[in-house]
Amino acid sequence: MDVIILAAGQGKRMRSVLPKVLQPLAGKPMLAHVIDTARSLEAGRIVVVYGHGGEVVRDALNAPDLAWARQDPPQGTGHAVQQAMPLVEDGGIALVLYGDVPLIGAATLRRLLAAASEQSLALLTVGMDKPTGYGRILRDEAGRVQRIVEEKDATPAERLVQEVNTGILAAPVARLRQWLSQLRNDNAQGEYYLTDIIAMAVADGLEVITAQPDAFEETLGVNNKTQLAELERIHQKNIARRLTDEGVTLIDPARIDVRGELICGRDVEIDVNCVFEGRVELGDGVRIGANCVVVNARIAAGTKIKPFSHIEDTVMGEACIIGPYARTRPGTVLGQDVHLGNFVEVKNSVIADHSKANHLAYVGDADIGQRVNVGAGTITCNYDGVNKFRTVIEDDVFIGSDTQLVAPVRVGQGATLGAGTTLTKDAPAGQLTVSRARQVSVPGWQRPEKIKKS
């Protein structure tokens, strides 16, 4: 089975410089959704038909398992499929999909494919109360499909038909090649209609078998940003439904956005307005507070992320307490029971078990041992304006508030840094190191008085 994905339409109504099929749905181009669905069907070849300016599409999504056929100018859906045919293998079935129909599901397509054979063509149809704009499925008295008529070519009586063509079909390749070569464009739109192959199949004695999608929205196409936003909501609702079915507690299933893969253990709880991007794994009992953004992260069991935290390219151990208002940037690796409090930023650093930075700190390019306390306002000065250097803080160190560690610098095991220290040399283990001017009090000192202007 080979898949042909039509993606040559210009998509002017998106009013965007980005080609329509590259517009993201759940953070991924619409066309990539369709390609991934085709892949899940174990397609032989996947041929994408792209149009004028479509090199951007090809460059964005190219992969070794894809073939590309150019259609320029577009002359209809039949003409589009024709462009793909030199790349399609004889002897099998061709499945036609659309780059702007992103929610089509693999289960639906498997049922459709099961109905296609050398002797039959399978067509995905839906019933619609208001079928305006769609091709109508015309059947004989016995209910057998005879042909499809496009809205613009239909008689008033034909327009009353409520069974419509979704455009998705599966047909035997050798026959399809033959039918496509016979298409004509003497119709209302002057286009080569793919839908005209239905009557040809019937004339050749093939059975046209119709199938319906598992869910109606699988067949919805996107022509403008309003429809894209509608599909985004439908898709997010489906993801939320899958999560709650799996046992995840979503405080409000309508207020979560998953733009990638979210894998959850047991008893995970996610509060409202969280966004997950890339691949995110949440272990058993993880709780994510309201308004968090979590990108490419692995968060182990029992860890709690409090509201308004931003987690990116981070690995967290078990039973950590993060936030509110914490930010972990790429390369953050936390052990178990690490606490990061409000306005703490961590980047490219390893923080070992039971260490804490609870308030207002910047930890960048640092290796922090176990049971370290990083006081409020502590900053690793990792950047001299040209190069970056590491800070090493060994186990059981206590760092007083408002300390600056000018990297490269090392703080030995069990050392204490006095509050306000600017550390420019290594601090020895087990000792107090403090660098600040001695405190003086000046007896008899008086505040200056305001000078009177004359």
Active-site residues: which are they? Answer: 359
Q: What's the closest the beta carbon of residue 157 comes to ligand UD1, in angstroms?
A: 18
Considering the complex, state which of residue 168 and residue 393 has its C-beta at the smaller distance from ligand UD1.
Answer: 168
Q: What's the closest the beta carbon of residue 94 comes to ligand UD1, in angstroms?
A: 15
Q: What's the closest the beta carbon of residue 177 comes to ligand UD1, in angstroms?
A: 17
Query: Rounded to whole angstroms, how far apart are CA atoms 122 and 111?
Result: 9
For helices 77-84 and 173-181, give the axis angle rounded to 10 degrees. 130
Around Cβ 173, how many Cβ atoms within 10 Å? 19
**Bridge partner residues of 299 (DSSP):** 282, 316
Q: What's the closest the beta carbon of residue 156 comes to ligand UD1, in angstroms?
A: 18
Considering the complex, state which of residue 30 and residue 274 has its C-beta at the smaller distance from ligand UD1.
Answer: 30
Contacts of residue 109, defined as CB under 8 A and 6 or more positions apart, other chains included, come to 37, 41, 95, 97, 168
Q: What is the DSSP string of 286-326?
A: -EE-TT-EEEEEEE-TT-EE-SS-EEEEEEE-TT-EE-SS-
Sign of the C-alpha dihedral computed for residues 121, 126, 130 and 132 taken in this order: negative
Q: What's the one-letter identity of residue 215?
A: A
Q: What's the closest the beta carbon of residue 219 comes to ligand UD1, in angstroms?
A: 8
How far does Cα 418 stand from its chain's mean position? 46
Considering the complex, state which of residue 74 and residue 375 has its C-beta at the smaller distance from ligand UD1.
Answer: 74
Considering the complex, state which of residue 69 and residue 248 has its C-beta at the smaller distance from ligand UD1.
Answer: 69
- Whether 430 and 412 have beta carbons less than 8 Å apart is answered as yes
Which residues of this protein are in contact with ligand UD1, per CB under 6 A?
6-9, 49, 71, 74-77, 79-80, 98-100, 134-135, 148, 150, 164-167, 193-195, 221
Q: What's the closest the beta carbon of residue 214 comes to ligand UD1, in angstroms?
A: 18
Specify the residue for token string 């007083």: 400
- Whether 365 and 348 have beta carbons less than 8 Å apart is answered as yes
Considering the complex, state which of residue 48 and residue 393 has its C-beta at the smaller distance from ligand UD1.
Answer: 48
- Whether 164 and 117 have beta carbons less than 8 Å apart is answered as no
Q: Give Rg (Cα) of the chain.
A: 31
HSE value, Cβ hemisphere, 13 Å, CA-based, for 86: 7
Considering the complex, state which of residue 169 and residue 288 has its C-beta at the smaller distance from ligand UD1.
Answer: 169
Query: What's phi and psi for 192, nearest 5 deg?
Result: -85, 105
Q: What's the closest the beta carbon of residue 86 comes to ligand UD1, in angstroms?
A: 16
Beta strands (DSSP E) in 230-290 are 249-250, 256-264, 269-270, 274-282, 287-288
Considering the complex, state which of residue 158 and residue 246 has its C-beta at the smaller distance from ligand UD1.
Answer: 158
How far does Cα 106 stand from its chain's mean position? 18
